[in-house]
Amino acid sequence: MEWSTVIVLCSTFFFFLFLGVPISFAIGLSSLITIMLSIPFDAAITVISQKMASGLDSFSLLAIPFFILAGNIMNRGGIALRLIEFAKVIGGRLPGP
């Protein structure tokens, strides 16, 4: 990586932070700006879309929405309350920190 690319990345990141943009959006926007400035525009669109698609093609990332879905299903079905009551019966008398 060239120094000019690093300077553009860091300066745009800190600029967005100075403006009060949330960190996640500042990272994304500064990355997009750096990619757009470092490679030609027509290739940049292709590279950005491929990187985004390959980044989301991970089984580890798929676990997050499925755990949220499982929690919502357990909450709506009432099993979450029964699991908490069961945990209280098993370990409720033990002292905690």
Q: What is the mean pLDDT of residues 47-57?
A: 76
Q: What's the pTM value of the predicted model, to 2 decimals?
A: 0.47
Say what the pLDDT of residue 52 is.
75
Say what the pLDDT of residue 22 is.
94
The residue type found at 67 is: F
* Per-domain residue ranges of the chain: 1-57, 58-91
How many degrees, rounded to 5, is the angle at CA 74 between CA 67 and CA 81?
Answer: 125
Strands of the chain, DSSP E: none
Q: Residue 18 pLDDT more than 90?
A: yes
Q: How many CA atoms lie within 13 A of 19 on its CB side?
A: 13
